[in-house]
Amino acid sequence: MLPRIMVAPNGARRGKADHPALPISVSETVNTAARCHAAGADALHAHVRDADGAHVLDAGLYRELLAEMDRAVPSMPVQITTEAVGRYSPQQQRRLVWDVEPEGVSVALREMWPEDGRDAEAATFYNDASVAGIAVQHILYSPDDVARLADFVSRGWIAKPAQLLFVLGRYNPPRLGHPNDLGAFRAALGPLADCQWAVCAFGRNEQACLLEAAGNGGCMRIGFENNIELGDGRPSISNDDQVRRLMRALEDLKPVASLPS
């Protein structure tokens, strides 16, 4: 089951210079996750950083984070990432997953399966992860990504996925996410129309995008990975403050009662 609200408190690119409350170390990430869980977040989307604060796919650091989360916030599921940021190959991304064996992982289709046509190694990875009980969330940056995944499923190259994430807007070149972006993603679903999906959004329209998702039966990912501003452009206070603001807004959203829990 896809968590209704997942918090993504740091991501791969931002640092303390972008926002002093952005967590970098394992302990900071765990403390932030605990506060966000208390505020209403159901799960953590986790990135780890090296000693210089750079994004890294490091199995040892992820195992440390998972152990600390199990101790501090045992009721909060953790999803790791294979985000490549131009540094990691599909082989390295797959190796991380097998070295950690997490309960959940986010994988960008265009990074794990960059070329068109059948990719036996990528197909085997997705199948083996499913057999191992690892919940793979497919990161989809555009409606074209959605259509491509739907095509792979229809060809039998990938089993029908359980979890999708639509990314509204983009980091580089910068473009704010907008609630109206969601329609094109959903229109491209085709045979994936009954899959669970969630939304994250770049920039100050984040909450508006997440409310649009919630109103249409989707789940939400919130946090400093994609946005460090309030809707009016003022700086956000913290990840947990973003979660609290979203929870208050959801109380006024009539369809919220029918959302998956």
For the stretch 67-93, pLDDT in tens is 999 999 999 999 999 999 999 999 999
Place of tokens 């794990």: 112
For residue 148, pLDDT over 70 is answered with yes
Q: What is the DSSP letter of 188?
A: T
Q: What is the pTM of this model?
A: 0.94
Q: Which tens digits make up the pLDDT trace of 107-122? A: 999 999 999 899 999 9
- Residue 101: the pLDDT is 97
Q: Which tens digits make up the pLDDT trace of 40-54? A: 999 999 999 999 999
User: Cβ neighbours of residue 65 under 8 Å, at least 6 residues apart?
Assistant: 26, 29, 30, 46, 48, 78
Which domains can be identified in the chain, with CATH numbers?
Answer: 5-254 (3.20.20.70)
